[in-house]
Amino acid sequence: MAPKRDYARMFDLTGRKAIVTGGSRGIGRALAEALAAHGADVCVVVRSTLPQAEELVAELNAGGGDSFAIQADVADPADVERLAAGVEARWGRADILVNNAGTIYPGDAETYALSDWRATMATNLDGVFLVSQAIGRLMIRQKSGSIINIGSMSGRIVNWPFKHSAYNVSKAAVHMLTKCLATEWAEHNIRVNALAPGYILTELTEEVLRENPDVVNNHWAKSAVQNRIGTVDELAGSVVYLASDAASFTTGEIHTVDGGLTLR
């Protein structure tokens, strides 16, 4: 009889080295905290909020641990190389990468500025590719790793009446990039999955709320079959699962956490 798997330890991330981009606030912060709660050390990557990232790192290291913060713009190849060099110098390896950094520039298609289009793609798509490539090289060398790209229900459906086609296109591309990298890097024992959240209340979405206060009750909540929007905490279990050995036979998957929003 085959030896029984140690189910209790399948979600254990003790000693694993994780990089979370955009980890200072919102979804990224919750994901960084969740990975650390399961034993991982976390490199928190931010563009402009280094003090918040350093505060978070102090909390994560309070009971011991080797988490740290790095300032890097994921859209800047030189910054990304510096990030990968920093991770290698500190840890010598990388087990988990969460490509979470993202941005949104809403606007009507007929007047949409090319600069906004390019800024959206630079962070949401180029950033995912560049960081995956740089950290992926470490994973290829060690022959193991799990990459989790934060996609979106906006990569699956047009969330009318909101107009942010660049954002939708960038997230759809992230889903396809996830499948391409999963295929290409399977031979290196690297799993690549995406997490596609529905509406989650964070600073990114608060801006829309300020302009359209009724939007939560009249549109966002009602578009999910569960009739509400989600919280950052409700994404935590999924990222731990995808990062862990519990997901050892899961790759190229677009894992949906949206309260049933994309069902109809």
Contacts to ligand NDP by CB under 6 A: 21-22, 24-28, 46-49, 73-75, 100-103, 123, 127, 150, 152, 197, 199-200, 202-205
Q: Which is nearer to ligand NDP, 100 or 251 (CB)?
A: 100
* Dihedral angle over CA of 63, 100, 11, 15, nearest 10: -40
Q: Which is nearer to ligand NDP, 158 or 186 (CB)?
A: 158
Q: Which is nearer to ligand NDP, 119 or 140 (CB)?
A: 119
Angle between helices 26-37 and 50-60 (to 10 degrees): 20
Q: Minimal distance in Å, beta carbon 10 to ligand NDP?
A: 26
- The one-character DSSP state at 247 is G
In angstroms, the CA 142 to CA 58 distance is: 29
Which contiguous run of DSSP H or E holds residue 128?
Answer: helix 127-142
Q: Which is nearer to ligand NDP, 184 or 206 (CB)?
A: 206
Q: Minimal distance in Å, beta carbon 103 to ligand NDP?
A: 5
CB 182 within 8 A of CB 246: no
Q: Minimal distance in Å, beta carbon 184 to ligand NDP?
A: 22
Q: Which of 112, 167, 199, 241 is catalytic?
A: 167
Q: Minimal distance in Å, beta carbon 60 to ligand NDP?
A: 15
The strand ranges marked E within the chain are: 17-21, 41-46, 68-71, 96-99, 145-150, 190-197, 254-257
Q: Is 167 designated active site?
A: yes
The dihedral region occupied by 134, where left means phi > 0, alpha psi between -120 and 50, and beta the remainder, is: alpha
Catalytic residue IDs: 167
